[in-house]
Amino acid sequence: MLDLQTFHANKFRYLISSQKSCVLNYRCADSYDWSINGEILDTPENAVHLGIQRDKLSRLGTKEVVPGRIQLARQTVYSLMGAGLYGLNGVNPKVSLHLIRCYVIPRLLYGLEVILLSKTDISNLTIYFVKLLKRIQHLPDRTANAAVLLLIGQIPIEAEIHKRILGIFRNIIDNDNSVERDLAFRQLAMKSDSSNSWFRKVVIITELYDLPSPHDLLVSPPSKSKWKKLVNSSVNYYWITKLKSEASEKSSLNLLNYADAEFGSIHSIWNTCGSEPYSTLRACIKSKLACNTYTLQCDKSKFSKRQISAICPLCGIEDENRLHFILRCSRLNNVRNSFIQSLKTFIKDVVTTNLYDELFSSEINTLQLIIDCSVFHFLTRGDVFKVECITRGLCFKLHQVRSNLLR
């Protein structure tokens, strides 16, 4: 192969630098000397080729790629902190997500669609990406991953990789008389499911999302726009269904309206708080209450295996959970009453008397209205915006007063 490169270099009158070239002895125990133009080439343990770090020791030869991409993405995030890309006191998470989609995800996923990723690689990428989304929403690490993604309307990073793989495959099969297309024919015909062929991986992905078989696509390649639309709809449907199923199994998310969540659509908690930093700060408290990760006395008792009492430290009457904190604690009545009255006044003007009575005669319905009113479809978008403004202020004020009383 090196002789062929030298032959073509001499034929077309260009030089191959031996100092910038090297040879990786992939999975080979013996050592050999490789030369080009009479000069010995280096045989390092790893080298960069087309922007991808290759090594000769790991099974797939790409062990260092994902850690390097995560480090690069982390550096990109740090460089964007000046633009407000951080959680508390930063810009609205929907703005942060836009920055992440434009600048972080392309650098995080560069080149990953053309290599084989292990389950460990996918796990590391998922852990980093979900943790990043938790940071920009100022949610604790114990927040359910499904809630983190559904709140901000972001598809998992694994799905982003799958979309890119399917896009690359369509480009390959649409390029007639190319070496890559001939390779696709041969690999799909000869390689078994257990092989490390990239094209067999495409088969697994298409089966996962119930897409047309790669064998059929080779015969009749779809148009780029049609294929992109089909891939987006199939991948999004699979993951939104999976995340909603995971969320339904989490008792902590019983007050979060995940049923109406869609990728690309921000939850009303973030969508209604605008760009003002103080509003974002108040929405952070609201999001923690919606995900049941705002630490109350019940949580402290559970974390300590009941060694700490769950009784409310303010009133000492009953266990301090979300219902008690938001609607029942007598020490917080002075703060609560004015917001509840404003909420009742507004709701009375926009719903029927029967709905009004149903909302405020039941503590559970009132709590649902305060935590996440978007579950009530009789409220218009404007109504949801107004209710969110009132309840966001209520939750934050309760948080402030509770913190001051506990000092």
* In a shared domain, residues 114 and 209: yes
Q: Kindly state the average pLDDT of the residues 102-124.
A: 93
Q: Could you tell me if residue 281 is inside a domain?
A: no
Token pair in block for residue 344: 């009742």
The stretch 150-159 carries a mean pLDDT of 96
Contact 112, 65 (CB under 8 A): yes
Match 């407000």 to its residue by tokens. 84
∠231-67-135 over CA atoms, to 5°? 75
Residues 232, 130 share a domain: yes
Q: Is residue 159 part of a domain?
A: yes
Q: 38-54 pLDDT, tens per residue?
A: 777 777 777 777 777 77
Q: What integer pLDDT is reported at residue 259 of this predicted model?
A: 94
Q: How far, in Å, CA of 369 to CA of 363, rounded?
A: 10
Examine the pLDDT at 158 and tell me if it is beyond 80: yes
Q: Phi, psi at residue 318, to the nearest 5°?
A: -145, 180
**Residue 288 falls inside a structural domain:** no
Structural domain tally of the chain? 3
pLDDT in tens, 205-224: 999 999 999 999 998 899 99
> Same domain for 258 and 309?
no
Residues 110 and 246 in one domain: yes
- Examine the domain organization and report whether 232 and 128 are in the same domain: yes
Between 15 and 106, residue with greater pLDDT: 106
231-272 pLDDT per residue, tens: 999 999 999 999 999 999 999 999 999 999 999 999 999 999
pLDDT at 277: 81
Domain annotation covers residue 76: no
**Same domain flag for 173 and 317:** no
- Report pLDDT for 1: 63
Residue 193: pLDDT band (50, 70, 90) is confident
Residue 62 lies in a domain: no
- For residue 61, what pLDDT is reported? 67
Question: What mean pLDDT is reported for the chain?
Answer: 90
- Residues 142, 94 share a domain: yes
Residue 28 placed within a domain: yes
Higher pLDDT: 299 or 85? It is 299
Is the same domain home to 263 and 314?
no
Residue 289 lies in a domain: no
Pairing of strands 35-36, 46-49: unpaired
- Assess if residue 350 is contained within a domain: yes
Residue 26 above 80 pLDDT? no
Do 112 and 244 have their domain in common?
yes
User: Would you place residue 162 in the very low, low, confident or very high pLDDT band (cuts 50, 70, 90)?
Assistant: very high
Condensed to tens digits (0 to 9), the pLDDT of residues 339-376 reads 999 999 999 999 999 999 999 999 999 999 999 999 99
pLDDT in tens, 271-329: 998 888 888 889 999 999 999 999 999 999 999 999 999 999 999 999 999 999 999 99
27 pLDDT tier (thresholds 50, 70, 90): low
- Residue 356's domain comprises 295-405
Tell me, yes or no, whether 209 and 251 share the same domain.
Answer: yes
Alpha-carbon distance of 243 to 259, in angstroms, equals 10
Residues 268 and 325 in one domain: no
Total-model pTM: 0.89
Same domain, 148 and 194: yes
